[in-house]
Every structure is written in structure tokens, then in C-alpha cells.
Amino acid sequence: MSRLAGHVQIITVADGVERRGVTVTASCSVSDSPPTVLACLNGANPRNEIFTRSDSFALNLLGDEHRAMAHAFSGRDQLDMNLRFALGQWTKLTTGSPILTNAIASFDCRLIEVKTIATHLVLFGEVVDVAIGPARPPLIYVDRGYHSL
């Protein structure tokens, strides 16, 4: 799987009490009518349960300048979640999920379905709002490292 390149994103959620963000590369569009995306999360991590309890999430597409943020939200350094969010500027759109203000694009989604496939949760979201940032090279993860196109 390390040879399967993916655009690096941070999936975020807020439930009024806490907020969580996780670096992901396994995501894609599902449909354009209605606009629908999916994202895959490690189901073995109990902290990811907040994504299944909430009724929304956001996908924040990262650019090459977001390498440190992507690494922080990957959890490798065990950085406190509040410190991870302090690395960027965040806002909210329709659902209240955290939106990275300088992302290439952010999809604000209403959670419509969750499937468990092997070790992962597959979250399906209907896109209810979008924020578009300036076009620039995306951050890609392949061969166990970050790269730019």
C-alpha cells in the first residue's frame, strides 16, 4: 500500500465538547449529484469514534506548505489535539466542523453513512458547503513520505 499515492487531507469533526482532526490519504469523490465524498479512518483507534457519533465532518485538502501540520495530525508525535489545531487557523461553515482557512479546498459534509471494512471506518458525506483556496501544488503521501507535484 505504500506505493499507492494519495492527496494528504485532514479530516475534522467537532461535537460541541471536543474537536478532532486526523491526517488521511484514503478519500475520494463518490458522486456529483448530490456531491458526495468518502474518507477512511482507522477503526481500531477509539478516539476516532467521535466521527461516528457526529452528524458531520470536513475534509481539508493540504498543500505542500502543510507538511508539519500533516505530520502533527498523523499522531506520530502524540501531540495534544489542541496543540495540533494551534498549528493552523480554523473557521466553520455550515456544519460547524473545523475548516482550515488556507487549505487548497475544504469540503463541509453531512455524515450520511458509516461502513466498517476490515480495520477501517468508511465515512460517506454529502458535501453541503465548500471553501476554495488558491490553486497550488498538493501535498502527496507515497513511499512513506510527503511529496509535492
Question: What is the tens place of the pLDDT at every residue in 73-96?
Answer: 999 889 999 999 999 999 999 999
* SS3 category, 73: helix
Candidates 103, 111, 110, 112; CA nearest to 8 is 103
**What element of type H or E holds 15?**
none
Candidates 5, 21, 24; CA nearest to 13 is 21
Does some domain include residue 26? yes
Residue 76 structural domain: 6-139
pLDDT attached to residue 133: 96
- Give the chain's domain count: 1
Does some domain include residue 147? no
Give the CATH number for residue 84: 2.30.110.10
Does some domain include residue 148? no
Q: CA angle, 102 as apex, 99 and 108 as ends, to 5°? A: 25
Q: How large is the average pLDDT for residues 39-53?
A: 93
Does some domain include residue 1? no
Does some domain include residue 14? yes
Does some domain include residue 33? yes
